[in-house]
Amino acid sequence: MLDRVIVWLDGLRAARPAHLAVANLRIVIGFAFVPAGLKKLLGQPFTDPGNAGAFHDFLHAFLATGGLYRFVGAMQLVSALLLMTQRFAALGAALALPIATAITAFTWSTAKAPTVIVTTLMTLGLAGLLAWDLRRWAGLITERALPPAPAAPPPIDRRLWAMCGLAVIAIYGGLCVALGEVYRPRKPQPDSPAYFVMPALPLVPLATWIIERRRRRATTPAP
């Protein structure tokens, strides 16, 4: 059964659209971890002090732990950066999945939509990213020899997509500096730079796709 799944994944990994989807999923999930990770690493509250209820009470107590709060934030940032690199994304997904799973269990226990929906989708996405690299983890599951891996190079420019992820983080970091705070997505505020910067972030992957496509056309010999 495992052999069949790996062979099927090998076929999927030969498709350029699948690689593009995975690269963008890594960037999206990695970016989702950045604001939360920064908040925790800097020791800033994740919810307003006046909020009450099971969801907010837990976050207040979590903040009060100090070192644990910052440690989780650091791990979120490390996993986000690993996901953005594309090359080390499998390790990033392995680090991020336990964190996302714990957050999802917490939100299912205490929160409502859309928080539950977002955290659940992130966890499912990370599980999918781990499955994408199943060949790397198969040795932990079985000792049998696996089918030989295809020798074809990846059909996308991973370095270019890594630069895309780093550009997204750099733009967000610049926004935080301009605002003087760790910005968390909230209701639109037309008088804030975030009103224009955040909706423009998806243009970075779009520009990356256009650049890569033009490079591929320039290097592909004419029939």
Place of tokens 């370095």: 159
What percentage of the chain reaches a pLDDT higher than 70? 97
Number of domains in the chain: 1
Query: What is the overall mean pLDDT for the chain?
Result: 90
What pLDDT does residue 154 have? Answer: 78
Peptide bond before residue 114 is cis, with ω within 30 degrees of 0: yes
Report which of 116, 134, 154, 109 is spatially closest to residue 16, judged by C-alpha positions.
154
pLDDT bin (cut points 50, 70, 90) of residue 135 is confident
pLDDT bin (cut points 50, 70, 90) of residue 94 is very high
Q: Give the domain extent around 90.
A: 2-219
pLDDT in tens, 33-85: 999 999 999 999 988 888 888 889 999 999 999 999 999 999 999 999 999 99
**What angle, rounded to 10 degrees, do the helices at 16-41 and 158-179 form?**
30
Q: pTM (2 decimals)?
A: 0.91
Q: 75 vs 145, which has greater pLDDT?
A: 75
What pLDDT does residue 7 have? Answer: 82
